[in-house]
Chains A and B, each alone.
Chain A
Amino acid sequence: MGLDYQLVLWNKHKKTYDKIIVLSMLLYIILFAVVTLVFNSETSIETLIIRAFGTLAIIMLHIILVIGPLCRLNSRFLPILYNRRHLGVSMFIAALIHGGFSIFQFHALGDVNPIYSIFTSNMDYGSLINFPFQVLGFLALLILFVMASTSHDFFLANLSAKVWKRLHMMVYFAYTLIIAHVFLGAFQQETSPFTIGVLILGFIVIASLHITTAFKERKIDRAKNEEKEGWLKVCNISEIDEDRAKIFTVDNERVAIFKYDRKLSAIHNVCKHQGGPLGEGKIIDGCITCPWHGYQYLPSNGQSPPPFTEKVSTYELKLEGTTVYINPKAFDEGTEVTPCKY
């Protein structure tokens, strides 16, 4: 949120995370080089770079893919989520170095266009074992390029959240291509049970975390609320933590009920910025703060504080004793609703 676009929206925490990312990447590359040279001293520098950055990119991609479900299962992981975009761009740089050196070493030294050579140097497209695996890596790199190059807030604002999200969901397609690229490459070059084992383990972790999260969210969506004169009973006031929210599904829409300053307010759970789950955020400086990118809304009217213009729908609440009831009919986005006091 700002009145012009900045190169990078850094703050103290983001700088710390970025330092950790860069140092971890450097440490991994050094360790990989040392271990490779100790166990296989004949490895050329080009091969070393290709393998080091390739494995680094895959490890980073796995971390990126587990961050989302981990945060849904445990809010302690949220700080990592705040920096996922920087991690994604760093991963693309690692993948680009891997791809760039591979293209240079295997395709740039002949008289054929290197990109054309990737697709035509091995034409065994009908074979599973001898399939030209580098093509899959190239296509994955193209997808990662689109994602990294559109990670700036300008694209979020101008492509629309829907288009931006769809573009960035292509990470799962890129992941599939990369898995196939590595499997086929490993089969064709040197079958390393360790590499294959780690990849299978990584896939199992990613898949099981996504499935667990999906079940958890399905449980929220399927929960039936008791109805009383048009109001839906949602929970006891003690079930909501101070300055936090509890998420409910009302009329097929997710609603976040926030508790703050001895008051309760309900707003639509989806952030206007990028569809982040507002109910997983918290109240900071009197504003509901999205856990994904820090977009803020006033709890009483669902509006971003001026000069910002984002708005979400609001809902009416009432208390009977300590039981919270919600009117399932949403008000228009940005409508002022008097908070329910307790």
Chain B
Amino acid sequence: MELIINIFLGILGVYFLIGFLFALYFSFKGANKIDPLMTDTKKKVRFLLFSGIVATWPFLIAKVFKSNTSQL
């Protein structure tokens, strides 16, 4: 059981660590690429979105990649 707990918490930790790093980039730069409404969005709103970006980074990273591919 301890092994399962270690694996689960390890995955959870890595998930949130990647999410945190991605959110640092996405909140202030990446979001502008996928959503034109973000261009004029204020900093305090970007801070508000931070935790949600950490939580849902796999969906958002896919969208950023798609937007980069379509721009090529």
Interface positions of A (Cβ within 8 A of B):
2-7, 115-116, 119-120, 123, 125, 145-146, 149-152, 154-155, 157-159, 163, 167
Contact = CB atoms under 8 A, between A and B. Distances in A.
Given A6-B45, A123-B1, 17 more contacts: A4-B40, A5-B38, A5-B45, A7-B45, A120-B5, A123-B2, A125-B1, A146-B56, A149-B55, A150-B56, A152-B52, A154-B38, A155-B49, A157-B37, A159-B56, A159-B59, A163-B59
Interface in B11-66: 31, 34-35, 37-42, 44-45, 48-49, 51-52, 54-56, 59-60, 63
Which are the 7 A-B pairs with shortest beta-carbon distances?
A: A149-B52, A149-B51, A4-B40, A150-B52, A5-B41, A119-B5, A146-B55
A126 to B, nearest CB: 9
Interface centre among B1, B8, B52, B55 (most CB of A within 10 A): B52
A157 B44 CA distance: 19
Contacts of A159: 56, 59-60
B56 to A, nearest CB: 6
Contacts of A150: 52, 55-56
A4 B35 CA distance: 10
19 contacts: A4-B37, A4-B38, A4-B40, A5-B45, A7-B42, A7-B45, A7-B48, A115-B9, A145-B51, A145-B55, A146-B56, A149-B55, A150-B55, A150-B56, A152-B52, A154-B37, A155-B49, A155-B52, A167-B56
Contacts of B48: 7, 152
Interface of B: 1-2, 5, 8-9, 31, 34-35, 37-42, 44-45, 48-49, 51-52, 54-56, 59-60, 63
A316 to B, nearest CB: 34
Contacts of A163: 59
Contacts of B54: 149
A340 to B, nearest CB: 36
A155 B38 contact: no
A119 B8 CA distance: 10
B35 A154 contact: yes
